Amino acid sequence: MTATVEILASPTSDDLDDLVALIGLLGYSLDAEVLSARLSHLTAAAGHETWVVRGDDGRVVAVAGAHVRWAYNADDPTAQLLLLVVGEAARRDGTGSHLLQHFEEWSRGHGARTLEAVSAAATDSAHRFYRKRGYHEAGVRYSKLV
């Protein structure tokens, strides 16, 4: 498959249903209404962008999302890939690699020199996917629910 990556601007109800199903593959439970509300915060003005790849039928088969952030310890921003999910039917055909390449080009266009990929809920295959493409583990992240 030659994946065409498009920005997810105004998701349709079908888009939201497809995204809910894809995000569910990571073990997260949400519905279209919740996702729509979350997407309303993940805007270009806030440094975010969400991309999708569609199948021949126009349905979303893969999604990725990222943001650019500034830090106290660097002169250039860091781009962080927050989400990358490829549906089972579209796996192993380069769609994930194509989305990752798109993220990297977008990041460079925003002046980022450091790229990060969040893989908190990922499987070993996801970790291998990133390592094979030049990413490495860097530090430890702590979190706390309040």
Torsion sign across C-alpha atoms 106, 131, 83, 1: positive
SS3 (DSSP) at 9:
coil
Assigned architecture for domain 10-132:
3-Layer(aba) Sandwich (3.40)
pLDDT score of 125: 76
From 67, 88, 89, select the one nearest 78 (Cα to Cα): 67
pLDDT score of 101: 95
Q: Please list the ranges in the chain whose pLDDT falls under 50.
A: none
- Domain range summary for the chain, segments of one domain joined by +: 10-132
Report field, pTM of the whole predicted structure over 0.95: no
Written as six digits, the tokens of 62 are 């893969």
CB within 8 Å of 121: residues ≥ 6 apart: 26, 27, 28
pLDDT score of 37: 96
